[in-house]
Structure 1
Amino acid sequence: MRHNLDDISRRYRRDVLVVESAYGFTLEDADGHGNIFDAELQGVAGYPATPEGQAAFLTDLAEAVAAVPAGRGRGVVYWEPAWVAVEGNGWDPTDPSSGNAWETRPCSTTGTGCCPRPPPWPPTPVAAVARSAVRADEPP
């Protein structure tokens, strides 16, 4: 990933922001609806499906983005922290029993929205990122 982030930033002379990233904290199914994150994906990623593995993934990801040369790594946006396994939080808002396939990926083991430890990151307000975005046809 570091190579790709560095290459994109260098090649297009643009800042980079990793969005919609997530990692499972468990392989357990809490709602009877099959999960997207499974043992095969855990094996590919190389992090255990535990709160500590999730935190390690997020820390490594934040460090990779922060290391993009010339300060062009702007941040990480986690997806989707609200998909916790609670009644009524399924894919279909009209069907409380619909379940969701992302329940293993919120940044939480209890539905509180808290990671076991937050990954380090130099704070970059979203508004600053939006202001720094430029159109592809504008000179860098």
Structure 2
Amino acid sequence: MKKYLIFIVIVCFIFSCSSTNDENITEAEPVFYKGMDLSFQSELESYNIPYKNALGKPFDLEFDIIGLSYYPQFQIKDLSLVQSKINELALTFNKDILMVEIAYRFTLEWNDNSINYIGDKNQILTEFPATPEGQKAYLEWMVSIIKKIPNNKGLGFCYWAPDWVAFTGNVTTSTNGSAWENQCLFDFNFKALPAFEIYNSN
């Protein structure tokens, strides 16, 4: 039996502004959305089933957003299939789609004594090498498929743990290190990677 995770996406503030200058902000209010989150599955034929079950009895759940997490190393690597299934969800349920959890590595090297989650070329997509430019290209691809979701249902993406760099005392992730360090948006010298440019252009 599959388990479902219901999450709340909090869009902190919607600003009503007379211009793009922050000093001209006149009012702000919090906006809350109810969403349903599901990891991208390999058994694609049954991909819609959790949502269909949630919308029907005995649950009768109401939600505004379908949230998807996608990690190629754990899930499918066929990029065209990823796109088609996301589109299918949007069309079937007429819900907005938010990629609530994504990340990609900029290197297969490490900067501490912790074992990284991703350290082998077989874990990555052949289309995107484990380099700073490859990481950026992956995010460019992700943005492109979100923009192509039918009926303008693509909301965006959330990058998982962009700041989990390795440094002494980082006990939140692992003692004196981070198993996520090569998937951050900062390099081993704590400098912003080219992937940040995605946010400037989108």
Q: After TM superposition, is the score higher than 0.5?
A: yes
C-alpha contact 2:163 2:186 (8 A) present in aligned 1: no
Give the number of equivalent residue pairs.
Answer: 118
Residue deviations 1:13-59 (CA, integer Å, cap 9, x gap)? 100010110000011111111111122212x4531110000000011
Q: Between the two proteins, what is the percent identity of the paired residues?
A: 31
Q: Over the residues paired in the alignment, what is the CA RMSD in angstroms?
A: 2.1
Structure number with higher strand proportion: 2
Deviation, structure 1 residue 108: 2.1
Please name the residue that 2:128 is paired with.
47
Matches within 5 A, 1:83-98: 83-91=164-172, 96-97=175-176
The SS at the match of 1:37 is: coil
The one-letter amino acid paired with 1:119 is I
How many angstroms does 1:105 deviate by?
0.6
Matches for 1:1-140 after TM superposition, within 5 Å: 1-39=82-120, 40-42=122-124, 44=125, 46-91=127-172, 96-97=175-176, 99-109=177-187, 110-112=189-191, 114-117=192-195, 118-119=197-198
Note if contact 2:104-2:138 (Cα within 8 Å) is conserved in structure 1: yes
Q: Unmatched 5+ residue regions in structure 2?
A: 1-81
Change (3 A) 1:67 1:41: same
Q: Which runs of 4+ in 1 moved over 3 A?
A: 120-123
Describe the shift of the 1:96–1:25 C-alpha distance in structure 2 as closer, same or farther (beyond 3 A): same
TM-score of the pair, normalised by structure 1: 0.74
**Which has the larger Rg?**
2
Partner AA of 2:183 in structure 1:
R
Answer with 82-91 or 17-26: which moved more: 82-91
Give the Cα separation in 2 of the matches to 1:76 and 1:55.
Answer: 14
In 2, the alpha carbon distance for the partners of 1:30 and 1:122 equals: 30
TM-score (norm 2): 0.53
- Relative to 1, partners in 2 of residues 1:104 and 1:21: Cα closer, same or farther, differing over 3 Å? same
Higher relative contact order (CA 8 A, sep 6+): 1
Residue 49 of structure 1 aligns with an amino acid whose one-letter code is A
